[in-house]
């Protein structure tokens, strides 16, 4: 029951040491040429081999090294093979920090002040008290809930939306299409932390932006495919939206002359909101593999029908 990890050397070495210390009974290999493909039961990777089903006929579980699995859900994964997304404290804490940073910057109108600085203007802009600011999250999974909990001490009016009902203390929770529309009309800063599925592709579009109150802002940290970039630019240029923090785009990187690079109302970062921390990721993977070996469901098991 060999485990094969396909990743860059630094991360592999951290995983190798952790497995040797905590789960030595599972053979750990990082060179696909040094293992009989029929012996591979567990695969840790981000990208997948095109002939995965034929190459690894006895594969049982694929562990993604990232929180997203949209790059794998359309892969030729053999029937019955489990797909497990990464849930680990390092990635969660980085995303939480980026969301808090972005929300506070938008709350205090930092993009507008940066543009004023560029124009050498000294103007005090209107502000809103935190208990009057409505902040909402699309996606109430691990990252969404961590972000909302981190925002609680600031006093914002917090809400979240998910496909199915969820109850979270101190958070107004919405679900389903009607719930989404109801939440959007009461949102000043919208944060996208959804998984990318056929249903959520381009969910951040002109119709959604039109539901937001005039002067609302966006934090886009989900996947590039969630955002209709032209619709965002139109909403910003029409002054319906005030500003946006964008960490993920489609494609990545953007073409050199894309308007998002230089738009005065956009803060653009190069997909840096979150990153898997090798040490805690190895611990999380080992814990999940122990669950599997004991006949239990791993944390982060993907539902193929939902895509997350």
CATH architecture of 2-87+276-293: 3-Layer(aba) Sandwich (3.40)
**pLDDT over threshold 70, residue 14:** yes
Residue from 55, 258, 271, 291 carrying the catalytic annotation? 271
Of 107, 223, 226, 263, the active-site residue reads 223
Query: Which class would CATH give 90-268?
Result: alpha beta
Model confidence at 250, pLDDT cuts 50, 70, 90, reads: very high
Q: Catalytic residue at 133?
A: no
pLDDT tens figures, 29-82? 999 999 999 999 999 998 877 788 888 999 999 999 988 888 776 666 778 899
CB 49 within 8 A of CB 55: yes
CB 206 within 8 A of CB 228: yes
* 3, pLDDT greater than 70: yes
160-217 pLDDT, tens per residue? 999 999 999 999 999 999 999 999 999 999 999 999 999 999 999 999 999 999 999 9
- 261-274 burial, b if ≥16 CB within 10 A, otherwise e? eebebbbbeeeebb
Q: How many CB atoms lie within 10 A of CB 156?
A: 22
- Whole-structure pTM value: 0.93
Nearest to 1 by CA among 303, 262, 298, 289: 289
Instruction: Give the span between the Cα atoms of 201 and 198, in whole angstroms.
Output: 5
Model pLDDT, residue 73: 64
3-state SS assignment for residue 130: helix
Question: For this structure, is 223 an active site residue?
Answer: yes
pLDDT in tens, 263-289: 999 999 999 999 999 999 999 999 999
- 173 contact partners, CB below 8 Å, separation of at least 6: 140, 159, 160, 161, 162, 165, 166, 167
Give CATH 3.40.50.720 domain extents, the chain.
2-87+276-293, 90-268
């Amino acid at each position: 029951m060999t485990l094969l990890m396909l990743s860059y050397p630094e991360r592999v070495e951290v995983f190798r040491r952790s497995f040797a210390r905590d789960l030595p009974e599972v053979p750990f290999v990082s060179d696909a040429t040094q293992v009989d493909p029929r012996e591979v039961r567990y695969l840790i990777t981000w990208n997948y081999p095109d002939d995965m089903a034929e190459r690894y006929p006895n594969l049982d579980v694929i562990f993604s090294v990232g929180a997203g699995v949209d790059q794998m859900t359309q892969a030729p994964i053999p029937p019955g093979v489990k797909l497990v997304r990464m849930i680990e404290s390092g990635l969660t804490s980085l995303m939480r920090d980026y969301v808090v940073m972005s929300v506070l910057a938008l709350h205090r109108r930092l993009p507008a002040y940066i543009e004023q600085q560029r124009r050498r203007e000294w103007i005090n802009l209107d502000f809103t008290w935190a208990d009057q600011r409505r902040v909402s999250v699309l996606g109430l999974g691990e990252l969404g809930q961590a972000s909302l909990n981190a925002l609680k001490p600031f006093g914002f009016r917090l809400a979240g939306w998910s496909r199915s009902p969820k109850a979270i203390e101190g958070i107004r929770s919405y679900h389903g299409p009607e719930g989404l529309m109801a939440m959007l009309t009461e949102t000043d800063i919208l944060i996208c932390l959804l998984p990318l599925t056929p249903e959520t592709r381009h969910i951040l579009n002109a119709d959604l932006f039109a539901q937001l109150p005039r002067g609302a802002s966006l934090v886009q940290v989900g996947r590039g495919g969630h955002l209709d970039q032209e619709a965002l630019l139109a909403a910003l240029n029409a002054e319906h939206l005030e500003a946006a923090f964008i960490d993920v785009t489609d494609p990545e990187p953007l073409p050199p002359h894309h308007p998002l690079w230089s738009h005065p109302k956009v803060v653009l970062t190069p997909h840096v909101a979150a990153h898997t921390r090798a040490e805690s990721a190895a611990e999380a993977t080992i814990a999940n593999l122990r669950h599997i070996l004991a006949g239990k469901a791993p944390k982060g098991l993907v539902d193929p029908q939902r895509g997350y």
